[in-house]
Amino acid sequence: MIDFHCHLDLYKDPLSILPEVERYCEFVLAVTTSPKAWAKTSKKFEHISVVKTAIGLHPEILLNRIDEQKSLLKGVKLNRFIGEVGIDGSRNYSGSVDLQQKAFREVLLESEQCGGRLLSIHSRNASKEVLDIIERCCNKSTPILHWFSGSLDELERAKTLGVWFSINPMMTFSTKGNALISKMPLSKVLPESDGPFTQNKGIPYMPWDTSIVINHLAKTFGKTAQFINGVMKNNLKYLLDTHN
């Protein structure tokens, strides 16, 4: 399985699930919430070949961790995977949206200066703002909208801009999620778990549970799970080859 957005370091006992990650997963992108978390997590997982650790600064904690923004920008120079970054316009974080926009813009501009990066992007209640910045600042990099929840019009705009999407099991269980997924181009989609924040009856989804996404895509697009899995592997290969 492929999991292109997972908070692997935030599981209750992440080291205990590593053998299963190696057994069942071909690729896991372990996103982090801050540069300090990345420093610890990248060392913890560096011996696991299927796990790549992304450096990020989550918009939900940006206001209290703004002193880490400089470390994030330095880290962009050293990493081809950036995440989780972006903007959150939810009520609890709306007061820092201007700061979030500035920080996100800086990350994209630094990524461009470095020749382009793969970015796993948070856009809850801020799809327009995220897409505005991507349109102005993103050319060499590849933005992947994780758990996209914008409108259908915003989805069409994202497609026009060449944005990618990562889909988790929770999206497949909602009417809106299904409507969005059905309009996403398979050639620019990857599965994600977003574990341990996504859960089923209190049990976190694991990186290998992206099989749920594969099966849902197969049903939605009238293909076999084997065909969809092949498409996902080709999509991953394309991104990795583009940003090697």
**What tens digit of pLDDT does each residue of 42-77 get?**
999 999 999 999 999 999 999 999 999 999 999 999
User: What pLDDT, on a 0 to 100 scale, did the predictor assign at position 182?
Assistant: 98
**What tens digit of pLDDT does each residue of 192-220 get?**
999 999 999 999 999 999 999 999 999 99
- C-alpha span between 45 and 50 (Å, rounded): 9
What is this structure's pTM? Answer: 0.96
**What tens digit of pLDDT does each residue of 157-188 get?**
999 999 999 999 999 999 999 999 999 999 99
Give 2's contacts (C-beta < 8 A, 6+ positions apart): 25, 26, 27, 28, 190, 191, 210, 232, 233, 236
Q: What angle do CA 51, 127, 178 make, to 5 degrees?
A: 75
**2-242 to CATH, choices 3.40.720.10, 3.20.20.140, 3.40.50.2300, 3.10.310.40:** 3.20.20.140
Cα 239 to the chain's mean position, in Å? 13
Mean pLDDT score across all residues of the chain: 97
As a whole number of Å, the CA-based R_g of the chain is 17
User: What pLDDT, on a 0 to 100 scale, did the predictor assign at position 54?
Assistant: 98
**What tens digit of pLDDT does each residue of 138-157 get?**
999 999 999 999 999 999 99
User: What pLDDT, on a 0 to 100 scale, did the predictor assign at position 82?
Assistant: 98
Q: How many CA atoms lie within 13 A of 45 on its CB side?
A: 32
Give 217's contacts (C-beta < 8 A, 6+ positions apart): 167, 181, 186, 189, 223, 228
Cα→Cα distances 32→7, 119, 133, Å: 6, 12, 22
Whether the per-residue pLDDT at 244 is higher than 90: the answer is no
Q: Do residues 104 and 26 touch, judged by C-beta distance below 8 A?
A: no
